Amino acid sequence: MSRFSQTDPELTHRLTRRGMLGVAAGATAAALLGAAAAPVSAATPAGTTAAGRGRPVLPPGRLGIQLYSLRDKVSTLGFAPVFAELEKYGYDEVEFAGYTQGSAGPITLAQLKRLARNHGLNPIGSHVGYYSNDPGAYTFAQNLTKVLDDAQALGLKHIGTASGPFRYGSTVDAWKRAAEEFNTYGAAAKARGMKFYQHNHSEEFSFATDNPKVRLYDVLLAETDPDLVFLEMDIFWAYSGQFRFSKRPDGSAAPFEPLDYVLKQPHRYPLFHVKDGVNDSANQYGYRMVDVGDGDIDYQRFISAVTRLRGQRFAHHWQAEHDNPTESFTFARRSSEHLHSLREKC
C-alpha cells in the first residue's frame, strides 16, 4: 500500500558542495546484513589512497533525499526553507512525494522547479499512486496524462509509484495483469523521455497465493519490459523482505540476497532508497528503522558493489529516507554526513 497521498516532486555547483562535505564527517561502523564483514573505516580526506581509505563510495552528484522524510517541514515551512537546508547538507537531488506545501501556501510546478534549481538540487523523481477506487484520482491508472504532464513540467527523468502491484490480488496472473499495466505506463513515460519505476516494500518479496514456489517480485521482473519498467529498490524494505520471506509457506528454505537482484540487472535499478535499520527479530519486519548510519545495513558494501560495475558508476541515484524520523532536519544532515564519509576499501 502506498504511503503517499494521491494528491501530493549545476553539476559544477553540486560537485563543489560535495567536495567540501567529503572530508567533513567520520563514518560509523556498519554491520553487514546477512553476513560477516569488517566495520567501515573512519572517513579520511579526499584523495587518500591507503588500504580501506580510498575514494568516496558515493559517485559525485548522486546523493538525493526522498521528501516524504521531510513532509512535516514541507507542510509547515514550505519547500524554500527545506531546499535551503538540503543545500547546506550537501544534497544534490530531491525525489518528490507530492507537489503541495500545506499551510505554507500554494506553489506552481514552474516555481517548484526553479526553486530546486536555485538551491543546486536536481528533481530526479516522484512518487504517485498506482490506482484508486476514485475514478478521478491523481494516479497512474486514473490520470496518466496529468501525472506525466506534471512530471515533464518539473523536468523529471523518472516518475514512479510506491504502490505494490497488488491491484488484482497476489496470484501469478494478478501480477502479470499489473505488470502489463506497468508496461503501458512505462511506454508512455518513455515517449516523454522519462523512466517509469516501482518502489518496493517488503511484501513484494512474498509468494504467490496460487503458487507458493513463486516469489511475486520475480513475476514483476519477468513480466515487465526491461526497457520500459524500472525499479527503485528500497534497501531497508528489501532486507526486511529477506527476513520475512526467507521460507516458503510450506516451510522450505527460499533465501535471497537483495543486492544480487541489482547486480544481475543493474540497468533496471536507476534509483535506490537508502534507509537504515537495526536488526530486531522481535519486530515483525525484522528491523527497527533508524537514521542512516545508526543501523546494521552495510552501505559501504552495498553502494560500492553497485558503483564498481563497469560503466555503472554514474548511472545510479541514492535517495536517503526515513519514514518517521525523530527530527527530520537532523535525519537529513546526519544521513548526508554518514554517506559522504564512506570510503571504498582498496
> Is the Cα dihedral 223, 220, 206, 312 positive or negative?
positive
Q: What is the pLDDT of residue 345?
A: 82
Reading the block at residue 177, the C-alpha cell is 495483469
| 71 has pLDDT over 80 | yes
pLDDT category at 226 given cuts 50, 70, 90 is very high
pLDDT category at 344 given cuts 50, 70, 90 is confident
pLDDT in tens, 332-341: 999 999 999 9
Average pLDDT, the chain: 87
| 15 has pLDDT over 60 | no
Mean pLDDT within 304-317: 81
Q: What is the pLDDT of residue 24?
A: 30
pLDDT category at 324 given cuts 50, 70, 90 is very high
| 136 has pLDDT over 70 | yes
Percent of the chain with pLDDT over 90: 81
pLDDT in tens, 162-207: 999 999 999 999 999 999 999 999 999 999 999 999 999 999 999 9
The region of weakest confidence among 31-35, 76-80, 220-224 is: 31-35
| 47 has pLDDT over 80 | no
Q: What is the pLDDT of residue 115?
A: 98
Q: What is the pLDDT of residue 52?
A: 47
Of residues 200 and 25, the one with the higher pLDDT is 200
Of residues 77 and 18, the one with the higher pLDDT is 77
Residue 228: Cβ within 10 Å count: 17
Of residues 7 and 112, the one with the higher pLDDT is 112
Distance, in Å, from the CA atom of 189 to the CA atom of 309, rounded to the nearest integer, reads 27
Residue-range domains of the chain with CATH:
11-341 (3.20.20.150)
Reading the block at residue 276, the C-alpha cell is 537504515
| 281 has pLDDT over 70 | yes
Q: What is the pLDDT of residue 309?
A: 87
Residue with cell 528489501: 238
Distance, in Å, from the CA atom of 286 to the CA atom of 277, rounded to the nearest integer, reads 9
pLDDT category at 218 given cuts 50, 70, 90 is very high
Q: What is the pLDDT of residue 313?
A: 57
Q: What is the pLDDT of residue 292?
A: 98
| 37 has pLDDT over 80 | no
Of residues 33 and 66, the one with the higher pLDDT is 66
